[in-house]
Amino acid sequence: MADSNVEEVDRLSQLPEALLLQILSFLPTKFAARTSLLARRFRHLWTASPSFELDRSDFSNGRLFNNVTSRCLRLRDRSAPLLSFCLKANWRRPFSIKLISNWLNRAHLLGLRDLSLHIHAETIESLFPLILSFGSLHSLSINSVDSDMNYGNRARVPPSCPLTQLKYLCITARMSESGLRTFIMEQRNLEYLCIKSPFGTDADLSSQSVKTLKLRVEWGVPKVYLSFSKLEFLDLSISLSRELKQFHGDMPVLRKALVETIALSEKNVPMLRDILESITNVSELTLHIGTPYPKIRPSATCLRKLTSFDLFHPLVEPGKDMPMFPNLRSLRLKMCFYENALHDLICLIHHSPVIDSLHLIHVEGPSQYHNYRWEPEIWHSNLPLNSEGNRKYAHFSNLQIGDMKSEVIKLLSGEKSSKRQKT
């Protein structure tokens, strides 16, 4: 039985101050400030935290949020560097430029390196000249939404000197394409780039330093041009809409790619092929093919009377060969494995001479046909039955050992294999 007279040890207070400050840096400022009630040692400790984060949604009204933000910055320990500043202001209407400028200037004077702003779109353009004067920034994240009145407007990026220390850039905002392209090209030390901006015209991006690119291309973009001489990892999410006419990528040292397509139809197969042509030198590829949209035969005037339609080849453009993937060793493919899709997969394996690992995941066909209680067998997976008794996924490894690759191709083709395969 434990001795009730043994004094409890306050192990938290025994931690060194540097470790306590590191712990506080993971807390939003609203909660970090509350630690001042724990003990005398914590009374002013939060004012030396290397991070600052406040969210407008945590406060009942805007005036309280403004007062708390200003007060917390005034109480900061001036001898302690403020490295990270994250402000989540009101998205629904423009914010006070003067007020937020004062906050940013104060943070900059305290040694700001990482800046993250979640603000209204109309506020961005006014703040850019100030933000671009912060030469010490290592990372910059700008996230915004548009009001209904401002939806068509795009923030312009002014001409500027490069942020020589900037290595991380993430933009989720409606911005001028030409200004954004120039701004990215100016950043000579940028290594990580994340762009989720709704492009109004062509998506034309290039960099001589970026090694990781995360890009989301939505509807209405006619052309995509990517030129990244040092890019090693690409994370691309792209809507294959009817407006998309051309995709070109120059990424000579790319080694790993994750490509997710949305709304794949027969007309868009050439666009998907162009994307694959741009990443043929990868060694690891994750490919998510969105639910295919069949080409309905002219005789079918409505879904209720639909009894048949043409199924296209999602990976092979008619009349053209599958691109070669000379370095591809690992493929993770998520798609609807109907018969033609499975034939395309086999073709892809044939065009990947050193492939060693294959992970396949089946997705269901178009959901709108289920509404009419009609689920044609063509949407059923043609993957081989796995150890769990279903055809939803399959995994094959060590394809370079012996005749394993040939055996897997036979299994996927529905032929009888000379060896028992485990999926």
Query: Which residue bears the tokens 């703040």?
Result: 127
Query: What pLDDT is stored for residue 115 in this prediction?
Result: 97
Query: Which residue bears the tokens 């150890």?
Result: 387
| Cα 129 → chain centroid | 27
pLDDT tens, residue by residue, 263-305: 788 888 889 999 999 999 999 999 998 777 665 544 444 544 4
Query: What pLDDT is stored for residue 249 in this prediction?
Result: 95
Mean pLDDT value of segment 102-113: 94
pLDDT tens, residue by residue, 114-147: 999 998 877 888 888 899 899 899 999 998 865 4
Q: 183: which 2 tokens?
A: 């701004």
The domains of the chain are located at 81-254, 287-423
Q: Is residue 153's pLDDT more than 60?
A: no
Q: 125: which 2 tokens?
A: 């353009």
Phi, psi of 17 (to 5 degrees): -60, -35
Query: What pLDDT is stored for residue 126 in this prediction?
Result: 84
pLDDT tens, residue by residue, 384-400: 998 888 999 999 999 99
Tell me how far apart the alpha carbons of residues 119 and 171 are, in angstroms, rounded to a whole number: 12
Mean pLDDT value of segment 333-359: 94
Q: Is residue 101's pLDDT more than 90?
A: yes
Average pLDDT, the chain: 84
Pair 358, 408: CB distance under 8 Å: yes
Q: Is residue 416's pLDDT more than 80?
A: no
Tell me how far apart the alpha carbons of residues 335 and 250 are, in angstroms, rounded to a whole number: 26
Q: H or E segment at 17?
A: helix 17-24
Q: What is the pTM of this model?
A: 0.86
Tell me how far apart the alpha carbons of residues 383 and 145 are, in angstroms, rounded to a whole number: 42
> pLDDT over 70 for what percent of the chain?
82
Tell me how far apart the alpha carbons of residues 171 and 184 are, in angstroms, rounded to a whole number: 11
pLDDT tens, residue by residue, 4-54: 555 566 677 678 889 989 999 999 999 999 988 888 888 899 999 999 999
Tell me how far apart the alpha carbons of residues 180 and 195 are, in angstroms, rounded to a whole number: 10
Q: Is residue 92's pLDDT more than 80?
A: no
pLDDT tens, residue by residue, 58-90: 888 888 999 999 999 999 999 999 999 999 986
pLDDT tens, residue by residue, 217-254: 887 788 899 999 999 999 999 988 777 888 999 999 99
